[in-house]
Structure 1
Amino acid sequence: MSKEFTYTITDPVGIHARPAGKLVKMAQQFESDITLDHDGNTANAKHILGVMSLGIAKGDPLKVSISGADEDKAAEELETFFKDNL
């Protein structure tokens, strides 16, 4: 079973290089597969180019899906990351 949550971006410039890098670094710490879904496009949260290619702006909803052995911990920590940084 997988976990997912939707977060609306509040950062005035959306997901730009610095928070995208932090997000990727955090996602890489988990064994689980982590995907980001935005406006019909999907990217692996562990790859910076994929995250940046989504073009996520302020006010955009972003669905985060986590599936794997440590999905509970990953979902909890990623949701906190989004609230604190984006």
Structure 2
Amino acid sequence: MECLVKILNESGVHARPASVFVKTACQFSSDIAIKVNNKNVNGKSIMNLLSLGLKKNDEIMITAKGSDEKEAIEALVHLVDSKFGE
């Protein structure tokens, strides 16, 4: 399962939003991946997520595979759409 979302927060994805994303992703047993510009990283790794250098208006594809993939996608899309709780 996958969903395309846009980064909305002004400061992009720096340490705090990356930490919140990874903490949320780790609550699910499904494999989580983030794809952007032909780069695919583990969505449960803060270092991998930060390596993408995501800025405002970047579009990312969140992919989840596993028994709770639907719930994982819904939670992570909501997190991005809510500007990581800013």
TM-score relative to the length of structure 1: 0.93
Q: Which residue among 36, 39, 42 is the counterpart of 1:41?
A: 39
Aligned residue for 1:22, secondary structure, equals helix
* C-alpha deviation, 1:40, in angstroms: 1.1
Give aligned-pair identity as a percent.
36
Give the aligned length. 84
- Matching of residue 69 in structure 1 with residue 67 in structure 2: yes
Please, which runs of 5 or more residues in structure 2 have no aligned partner?
Answer: none
> Which residue does 1:54 correspond to in 2?
52
TM-score relative to the length of structure 2: 0.93
* C-alpha deviation, 1:65, in angstroms: 0.5
Q: List structure 1 segments (4+ residues) > 2 angstroms apart after TM superposition.
A: none
Aligned residue for 2:82, secondary structure, equals helix
Aligned residue for 1:15, secondary structure, equals coil
Q: Which residue among 7, 18, 26 is the counterpart of 1:9?
A: 7
Which letter maps to 1:68? G
Is the contact made by 2:8 and 2:80 (CA closer than 8 Å) also made in structure 1? no
* C-alpha deviation, 1:67, in angstroms: 0.5
RMSD of aligned alpha carbons: 0.9
76-85 or 14-23: bigger deviation: 76-85
> Which residue does 1:26 correspond to in 2?
24
* C-alpha deviation, 1:85, in angstroms: 2.1
Aligned residue for 1:52, secondary structure, equals helix
